[in-house]
Structure formats: C-alpha cells, structure tokens
C-alpha cells in the first residue's frame, strides 16, 4: 500500500492503494468516480478512456503509479452540466442506447476534436474505431463528432465577436 | 376489502397532496379498472404506479420494465404522457423497482413490452386526464365534455378557465375511477412518433452512477468467482492459503463447483484470485469443435428427428421435381458480450433479502433467490439498475443467484463481479446450429416441395416451422433434432431466428436463381397465394409482409442501381414485426465490401422515432457484425476466445451505412428490440453472392471456411 496523490478533474486527491492498481479501479473503487467503465481490462474496448494531461488513455491498463503529477480528466470532469460540445451533440443526436460505452466514446471524441477541430469523415471514423459499442451506435457517434465540431466552431466564432 | 382500501388511499392522497394512478394487477384479475394507489410521498422508493402528479405540479412517470438499451424507459412514459396530455419537458421519469402487485410482465425479453403494455399505458394516462377534467368541470360548474386539456392544464369553455393539473390533484383523487375512457385520436399525437431523446442521456453524458456495476452500498464487499475452465469439469479441491495472504482479502468460500474470492476492492480481488490453486476432474467427453461437427453430421442422418410441421407429402413431391436445390448452413456458438459484464449485489439478512443489479427478468430473480434460500418471495426485494446491454444474457440470473448464495454464506453484503474473461468463458451462449434445406421446383420453376432440418446443440426446436414461406408451399416437411451439450446456452437477441433467418433467406435466394425468378417477385407471388389459398396454419399477415417488401424495393431502387452495386434481398417476420432489407455490396480493389443496408420495418405504431431508428440500425449492425466476424470455439470443453483481442466484435470503421424506414401504419405497436437483426445475415450473404457469385454457408462469413457443407 502506498499513499498516492493525484490530480483528478482539477482536484487534488489522495488514495491508499497498491501502486500497481490500474487507474480505472482507483477511480471507481476509491474515488467513487464510476462514470469511467470497465469493459475488457485489456485496452481493447475503450470503455475506460480518460485523459492524462489531455491525451486519451486506457485507464484499465494504466498503473496509478504511472500517473504521477499528470492531470487526470474523467467523464465527470468534462463538463458537469453536459455543456461540452461533444456532450451537447451526443444529446442532440440521441447517441446512447445502453450508454455503457459512451463515457469512453465521448472522452475519445473530445480528445480527437482538440487535436483536429474539423476532422473529415474518414478521420472521425478512424479516430473513433478503437472504441467498441455493442449496441451499434456507430453511425450516430460519427455524426455527433461532426456535429460537435460544428457546435465548437460556432461558439468559438461567437466568442471572437 | 375494496372499500377499506379505497378510503385509506383517499386519505393518503389528501394528506400527501399526491395523486397517483397505477394498475393494481393483484386485483385487476377481478376488476380490470384502474385503482388509485397508495403513495407515501415521503418514501418515493416504495411507490410504483405508472404516474403520479403532486399538487406542486410535479409529474413523475414510472417505467417498470428493465432498461437494457432498448429504450423502454423512454418509450413507455411517452405513451402515458401523450394520453395524459402533458408537456414532456415537465415530466420526470423514474425506473420502478420490481413490484409484482403493481406491474405485470416486468421483464425485458422477446421484444414484447410495448405489445403487452400499449393499452395499459394509454389507459393509465387517459384515465388520469379524464379525472382531472372531471375535477375541473365540477369546480367550474360546467359539463366535462366542454373542457379540454393542453400540456398539463385543463381548459374550460369560458374565458379564463384554466387550471394546472397540480391544482386539481386533490379534487381528482376523490373521484371514482372511470371504467371506460376515450383515447386521443392519432392525428392529435404530439409525442408518439416524434424524435424523443433518451431520458437517461444527461446521466450517461456526465458519468452518473446508474449501472449494476456502479452499485455502492454500505459495508459492501467485492467478490469474483473462479469457475471450472472447461464445460464438463468438476471442482475436486482448492488451496486458498496464498489467496488469503493477499492484501484486502476477507474470505474464500466454495459452493456449487465454484470458488469465490471476497475482498475489499476489485483490483485486490483480481490479483488474489490468480493465487488460487484448483484441482478439477474432467468427464471423459469434453467437447471440442470436432465433437460438434460429428454431432451435426449424425444429426443430419438420424431417423429420430422430430417432425415440427408437415404439409402435403414432401417425399412424394421431391421425386417428381424437375429441379432440386440443396444447401447446408452453420453457425457457431456466440457470447452475448454486453459491454457491462455480469454483476449483482446481494445482502441476505434474517428476514430480508436485498438484491440490486442488471437483470432482464427481476421477478425470476426474486423467485429463484427465494427458492434457493428457502425464504418467502415477498421478503426478497429487487432494485433495478440500468443495464450496459443485455442481448438475452441477462435472462439468466445465474450471477444474481451466485451473489445471493455468497452473501448468505459470508453473511455480508456483497457485489459479485464477473471479468470479461469470466463472462466470455463461463457464460451462456447462442447455441451452434446446422441447417439443411432442400427445395423441389416444377418445370415452371415453382417451388412445390420445401424441406428443412435443424440440428442444434442445446437449441431446443431450432426451426420456426410456421413461418413464411411455409403457408405458400404445398409440400413441406420441417424437422428438428437437438443434442444435449455440456456447453450452457440461452436466448441470444432474436433466439434461433438470428441465424435461421440468415440461412433460410440465403437459401431462398439460391432457389430464386435456380428458378430463374426475381427473388422479390418470387416472395410476392408466394404471398399472393397465401392470401388466397394458404397451406395449413400460418402465424403472419401476408399483407403486412407484402407492404414492407414493396416499400424496400422502392426505397433501395431494387435492380436499378447499376452494374457496380450488387444487391441482396431478405425479409423476415419475428416478434410480431416485419422487416425487409436490401444490402448492397461493391467490389473495392477486387474485394467485396458491404456498403449499405436499406430496411423497411412494420412494427405498427412507431412510439419514439429516435429509439425506433436506434433499434433497427443497431440490430442491423449487430446482425452484420456477428454474421461477418464473431465466433466462439471450443477445445476439450474450454472456450478458445476469452476477450475482445480474440473474439471479434464489429467496430465503427467496418460498418455499412444504414437507412431505417417505417411503415408506421398505426396498428398497435409490436416488438422492435430484435426483429431487425434476423434478416440482415441473409441480405448481406445475398449481396455478397451478387458481387462474387460465391455463396456463404458458414458464419462468420469472414472466417476461413465457407464451402457448402
């Protein structure tokens, strides 16, 4: 057991865990942040995607000891009122069916748009292909990423005005 | 009894300022009317009616059926809200827990919820609306027939007569419940058939706890269970000495061929279970894929197959046929793989049992746990969580029973959690099945004889003997044969038809080619015959079949898309809905690629346009993905795929585009969670045949071996 300090969703937290514990289980079991999901435990499905310093990572295979001083962002920290363009687009197009994979999809999509604010359809498809959705919501996911890109560019241009 | 109950209810309603309506199913056997229900406003968890209106104006709609992603938690309240005539934005929707007195058929399976509850939901909303109008009319001293409602208000005939439902609740709750109410006319629907977003979207988008695996209860421990690695293995002994030394481990106990490792946190339990040493004894006949192939071969030859249907004389007709077509199709076992693995919480105490978790059949869980523990059913409480998918896996409550049994042994509240590997290797599967079809054509190319034998492994009757094209063919013989396998199986989204339809629709395409007929016209001709002169009993309506077929041919421009677009047709009736599909394939760099699927669905009234599209498109992607890629194989009883690295699910870069159209004819709604899946495999196989001239006989289509068996 070690005492480990983390920066999660802009808050400093401290946990007493084995340093090999994957970040996923630290979030879920020790910090009660259960929005990040377990789907496979081997970095195949993407349900556990969080950001480490803004980069999407699979928290199910990331030992908490490797996080260090990096900033962790989970679905709970994206925007608590669901006003991030990706959340807005996801709701507008009614993407979720069972919803279980969607935290990972959203964190992947939001990271994709940070790097590439106006992705082409092919870039969206390839950027999102690491996340499995068993309900088959892929079409709406792709359309929602495009819509989020539009929403973000509209709000950016209105901010400039 | 009723009088006493009634006066008590009315007092409660007055005290709490809450008016609620629900079906008292316990009494409804004698009285089909609607009863007012007690609603202790301070204890919302115990309240289980379809709707409640507080005198503050707050409207709460309760959805009783388990939500697995099929959208029932949105669809049910839409119907109630429509008939109640309230603004959807005013409404709060809550999941009701299991209550066998308030609700009937509180389960998710067979795509049957809307079919079952349509009238009940309308009646719940319309009755409340009627009583609110009565209350307003009395207050104003006007005739109720001169009043109307709009978005949560009753409007009177005179100027300024407008009262919110909340202001009428106390008066309305004192009125007698009408036995007959009128429903809105279809033309006045505001909500039904519109695009309504999922009521849980906000929770999903912000990561709020709602799934079984998110369950946290005071004092709760975490457990994982080690099961035998092979189907047919028995646990002889285990050594947990090293496990118990691991940090965070509370206990290791064994029951029913399993060993449970109980600890404080998930990761600690995951690490500790690796140290468990188990000794198993195997039966001599552990099954491998080769065993199953041998059984399929034998099953096709046996004279012990069960005759499921016989029309005319197939054997006499087939020898007279001018042309005979035969083909054999096969599918593997499949895992359900809902994204949320199995889990359940149980807290077994003297006199009370609390269960919480993802189950499609909470009442079965209640009954099974009561039987297991030898306690009365009414002491077992079941809280329903949202589910990360189901696909039929959660029709089996094995994991809920494990949680209850474990909690009863360790006398602690515990959440049993399966890893993905536990789920894929120790679970319940879609049965593997082989089909053999034979068709006899006369000189004119008309099918005069049709034969099907299904051989399944723990599949029961692997045919659907009364389904189309049966009814159109004079001489039919349909048989099934089942092998009892040690590999546990269960319903998988669209049980049996998920592959039967694929095989049959592929075979009928072969028949059409052999007969020199257009595959669509061939079906339409048969359906005309069914309309005028059906052969034996049929379970489908030919006119509804004809309509989806005609519409899909038009929408997909059948045969008119040019030489580079290769189309495949399929149509299937299941769960009382009709779905026709045309898949399209193109040759890209010498390889066939499925690019598009057009679907026309008749599920009667479309309740939620968004949810309906999701179910059809999702069902098609599910059907396509599993037909193309997924397979669970066995070696000496051990599943060979354990996680998503080897068990392939379709990903977002592998999907065709999909168009979902609806006939939307206003007939009472029927199932939509499953019916779009069965036709897809056949449409895809037929499109790929059109592109490559190669038939696909074995799923997964992208697998190595697809020759006719």
ipTM above 0.85, yes or no: yes
Q: Is B620 on the interface with A (CB under 8 A)?
A: yes
All residues of chain B having their beta carbon less than 8 Å from the beta carbon of residue A82 are 202, 205-206
Judgement on whether residues B160 and B251 belong to the same structural domain of the protein: no
Tokens representing B61? 């709609």
Q: Are B224 and B261 in contact (CB under 8 A)?
A: yes
Tokens representing B396? 């089996």
All residues of chain A having their beta carbon less than 8 Å from the beta carbon of residue B658 are 139
Q: Are A23 and A13 in contact (CB under 8 A)?
A: no
All residues of chain B having their beta carbon less than 8 Å from the beta carbon of residue A130 are 651
In a domain, B249, yes or no: yes
- Given an 8 Å threshold on Cβ–Cβ distance, is B68 in contact with A98? yes
pLDDT at B46 over 60: no
Last residue of some domain: B203, B222, B244? B203
In a domain, B703, yes or no: no
Chain-centroid distance, C-alpha A49: 5
Q: Give the largest Cα separation in chain B, rounded.
A: 86
Q: Is B619 on the interface with A (CB under 8 A)?
A: yes
Q: Find all residues with CB under 8 Å of B623, minimum gap 6, and list them.
A: B498, B502, B676, B677, B678, B679, B680, B681, B684
* CATH code where residue B399 lies: 3.30.365.10
pLDDT in tens, B64-75: 899 999 999 999
Judgement on whether residues B112 and B190 belong to the same structural domain of the protein: yes
Q: Is B222 on the interface with A (CB under 8 A)?
A: yes
In a domain, B290, yes or no: no
Last residue of some domain: B203, B231, B264? B203
Tokens representing B245? 């030394």
Quote the CA–CA distance of A30 and A19 in Å, as a whole number.
Answer: 13
A2-78 homologous superfamily: Beta-grasp domain (3.10.20.30)
Structural domain boundaries, residue B387: 212-283+343-417
Judgement on whether residues B460 and B518 belong to the same structural domain of the protein: yes
- Given an 8 Å threshold on Cβ–Cβ distance, is B216 in contact with A137? no
Q: Is B460 on the interface with A (CB under 8 A)?
A: no
Could you report how far apart the first and last alpha carbons of chain A are, in Å? 53
Give residue B322's pLDDT band: very low, low, confident or very high (50, 70, 90): very high
Q: What is the pLDDT of residue B104?
A: 81
pLDDT at B313 over 50: yes
Computed over every residue of chain B, the mean pLDDT equals 91
By DSSP bridging, strand B306-311 and strand B429-430 are unpaired
- Given an 8 Å threshold on Cβ–Cβ distance, is A44 in contact with B197? no
Judgement on whether residues B669 and B566 belong to the same structural domain of the protein: yes
Quote the CA–CA distance of B672 and B618 in Å, as a whole number.
Answer: 11
Chain-centroid distance, C-alpha A71: 13
All residues of chain B having their beta carbon less than 8 Å from the beta carbon of residue A147 are none
In a domain, B292, yes or no: no
Judgement on whether residues B527 and B668 belong to the same structural domain of the protein: yes
Judgement on whether residues B272 and B129 belong to the same structural domain of the protein: no
Judgement on whether residues B155 and B195 belong to the same structural domain of the protein: yes
pLDDT at B42 over 50: no
Judgement on whether residues B224 and B358 belong to the same structural domain of the protein: yes
pLDDT at B26 over 80: no
In a domain, B708, yes or no: no
Q: How many domains does chain B have?
A: 3
Angle (nearest 5°) at CA B394 between B393 and B395 = 95
Judgement on whether residues B156 and B255 belong to the same structural domain of the protein: no
All residues of chain A having their beta carbon less than 8 Å from the beta carbon of residue B69 are 96-100, 135
All residues of chain A having their beta carbon less than 8 Å from the beta carbon of residue B614 are 94, 97, 135, 137, 140
pLDDT in tens, B452-482: 999 999 999 999 999 999 999 999 999 999 9
Selected residue of A99, A104, A143 to mutate for chain B interface (largest B Cβ count, 10 A)? A99
Last residue of some domain: B156, B178, B203? B203
Helix (H) or strand (E) holding B227: none
Determine the angle formed by the axes of helices B497-515 and B609-628, rounding to 10 degrees: 70
Q: What letter does residue B385 receive in the DSSP assignment?
A: P
In a domain, B700, yes or no: no
In a domain, B535, yes or no: yes
Tokens representing B164? 């919110």
Q: Are B379 and B349 in contact (CB under 8 A)?
A: no
Q: Is A18 on the interface with B (CB under 8 A)?
A: yes
Q: Where are the domains of chain A?
A: 2-78, 85-160
Q: Is A115 on the interface with B (CB under 8 A)?
A: no
Q: Which candidate, B689, B651, B298, B628, places its Cα nearest to that of B505?
A: B689
Listed in order, strand segments (DSSP E) in B257-322 are 258-263, 277-282, 306-311
Q: Which candidate, B694, B486, B674, places its Cα nearest to that of B579?
A: B674
**What does the DSSP assignment read for B636-703?**
TTEES--STTTS----GGGPPEEEEEE----SPP---SSTTSHHHHHHHHHHHHHHHS----BSSTTS
- Given an 8 Å threshold on Cβ–Cβ distance, is A94 in contact with B197? yes
All residues of chain A having their beta carbon less than 8 Å from the beta carbon of residue B652 are 125, 128-129, 131, 133, 138, 141-142
Q: Which candidate, B625, B63, B426, B240, places its Cα nearest to that of A137?
A: B625
Residue in the block written with tokens 């140290």:
B275
pLDDT at B709 over 90: no
Q: Is B494 on the interface with A (CB under 8 A)?
A: no
pLDDT at B607 over 70: yes
In a domain, B35, yes or no: yes
Judgement on whether residues B514 and B596 belong to the same structural domain of the protein: yes
To the nearest whole Å, the CA of A19 is away from the closest chain B CA by 11
Quote the CA–CA distance of B338 and B340 in Å, as a whole number.
Answer: 5
Judgement on whether residues B370 and B396 belong to the same structural domain of the protein: yes
Model pTM score: 0.94
All residues of chain A having their beta carbon less than 8 Å from the beta carbon of residue B222 are 29
pLDDT in tens, B526-570: 999 999 999 999 999 999 999 999 999 999 999 999 999 999 999
Q: Is B358 on the interface with A (CB under 8 A)?
A: no
What is the third-level CATH fold of A85-160?
DNA polymerase; domain 1 (1.10.150)
Selected residue of B71, B74, B204, B214 to mutate for chain A interface (largest A Cβ count, 10 A)? B204
Judgement on whether residues B360 and B451 belong to the same structural domain of the protein: no
């Amino acid at each position: 057991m070690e005492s480990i300090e983390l920066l999660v969703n802009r808050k400093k937290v401290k946990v007493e865990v084995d340093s090999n514990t994957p970040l996923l289980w630290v979030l879920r079991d020790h910090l009660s942040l259960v929005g990040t999901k377990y789907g496979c435990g081997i970095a195949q499905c993407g349900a556990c995607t969080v950001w480490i310093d803004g980069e999407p990572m699979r928290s199910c295979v990331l030992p908490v000891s490797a996080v260090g001083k990096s900033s962790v962002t989970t679905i709970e920290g994206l925007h608590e009122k669901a006003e991030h363009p990706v959340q807005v687009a996801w709701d507008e197009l009614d993407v979720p069916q069972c919803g279980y994979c969607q935290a990972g999809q959203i964190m992947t999509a939001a990271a994709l748009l940070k790097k590439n604010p106006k992705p082409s359809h092919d870039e969206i498809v390839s950027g999102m292909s690491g996340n499995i959705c068993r309900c088959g919501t892929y079409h709406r996911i792709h359309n929602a990423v495009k819509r989020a890109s539009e929403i973000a560019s509209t709000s950016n241009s209105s901010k400039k005005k | 009894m009723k009088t006493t109950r009634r006066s008590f209810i009315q007092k409660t309603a007055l005290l709490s300022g809450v008016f609620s309506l629900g079906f008292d199913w316990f009494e409804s056997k004698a009285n089909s009317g609607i009863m007012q229900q007690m609603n202790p406003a301070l204890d919302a968890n115990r309240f289980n009616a379809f709707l409640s209106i507080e005198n503050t104006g707050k409207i709460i709609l309760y959805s009783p059926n388990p939500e697995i992603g099929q959208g029932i938690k949105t669809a049910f309240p839409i119907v109630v809200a429509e008939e109640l005539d309230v603004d959807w934005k005013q409404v709060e929707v809550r999941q009701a827990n299991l209550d066998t007195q308030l609700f009937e058929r509180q389960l998710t399976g067979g795509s049957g919820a809307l079919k079952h509850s349509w009238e009940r939901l309308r009646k719940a909303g319309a009755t409340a609306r009627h009583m609110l109008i009565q209350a307003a009319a009395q207050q104003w001293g006007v005739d109720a027939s001169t009043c109307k409602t709009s978005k949560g208000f009753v409007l009177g005939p005179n100027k300024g007569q407008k009262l919110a439902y909340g202001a009428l609740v106390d008066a309305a709750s004192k009125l007698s419940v009408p036995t007959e109410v009128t429903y809105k006319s279809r033309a006045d629907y505001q909500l039904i058939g519109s695009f309504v977003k999922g009521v849980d979207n906000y929770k999903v988008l912000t990561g709020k706890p709602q799934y079984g695996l998110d369950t946290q209860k005071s004092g709760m421990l975490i457990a994982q269970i080690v099961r035998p690695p092979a189907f047919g293995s028995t646990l002889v002994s285990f050594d947990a000495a090293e496990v118990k030394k691991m940090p965070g481990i509370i206990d290791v106990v064994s029951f029913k061929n399993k060993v449970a490792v109980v600890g404080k946190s998930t990761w600690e339990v995951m690490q500790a279970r690796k140290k468990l040493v188990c000794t198993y004894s195997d039966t001599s006949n552990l099954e491998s894929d080769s065993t199953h192939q041998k059984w399929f071969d034998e099953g096709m030859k046996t004279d012990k197959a069960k005759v499921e249907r016989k029309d005319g004389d197939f054997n006499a007709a087939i020898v007279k046929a001018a042309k005979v077509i035969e083909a054999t199709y096969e599918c593997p076992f499949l895992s359900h793989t809902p994204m949320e693995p199995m889990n359940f919480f149980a807290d077994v105490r003297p006199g009370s049992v609390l269960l919480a978790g993802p189950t499609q059949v909470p009442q079965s869980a209640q009954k099974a746990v009561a039987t297991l523990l030898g306690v009365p059913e009414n002491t077992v409480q079941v809280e329903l969580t949202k589910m990360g998918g189901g696909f039929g896996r959660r029709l089996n409550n094995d994991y809920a029973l494990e949680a209850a049994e474990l909690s009863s042994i360790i006398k602690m509240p515990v959440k049993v959690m399966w890893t993905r590997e536990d789920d894929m290797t120790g679970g319940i599967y879609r049965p593997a099945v082989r089909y053999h079809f034979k068709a006899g054509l006369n000189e004119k190319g008309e099918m005069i004889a049709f034969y099907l034998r299904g051989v399944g492994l723990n599949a029961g009757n692997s045919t659907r003997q009364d389904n189309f094209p049966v009814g159109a063919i004079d001489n039919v013989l349909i048989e099934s044969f089942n092998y009892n396998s040690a590999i546990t199986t269960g319903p998988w989204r669209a049980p049996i038809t998920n592959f039967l339809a694929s095989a049959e629709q592929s075979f009928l395409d072969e028949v059409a080619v052999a007969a020199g007929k257009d595959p669509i016209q061939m079906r339409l001709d048969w359906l005309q015959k069914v309309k005028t002169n059906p052969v034996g009993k049929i379970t489908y309506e030919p006119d509804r079949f004809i309509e989806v077929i005609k519409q899909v041919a038009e929408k997909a421009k059948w045969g008119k898309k040019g030489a580079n677009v290769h189309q495949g047709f399929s149509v299937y009736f299941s769960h009382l809905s009709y779905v026709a599909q045309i898949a399209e394939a193109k040759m890209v760099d010498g390889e066939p690629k499925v690019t598009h699927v057009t679907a026309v669905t008749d599920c009667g009234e479309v309740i939620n346009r968004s949810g309906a599209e999701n179910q059809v498109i999702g069902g098609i992607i599910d059907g396509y993905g599993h037909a193309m890629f997924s397979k669970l194989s066995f070696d000496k009883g051990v599943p060979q795929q354990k996680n998503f690295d080897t068990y392939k699910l379709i990903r977002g870069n592998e999907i065709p585009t999909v168009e979902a159209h609806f006939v939307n004819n206003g007939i009472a709604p029927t199932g939509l969670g499953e019916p779009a899946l069965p036709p897809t495999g056949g449409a895809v196989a037929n499109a790929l045949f059109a592109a490559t001239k190669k038939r696909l006989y074995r799923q997964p289509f992208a697998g190595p071996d697809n020759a006719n068996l």
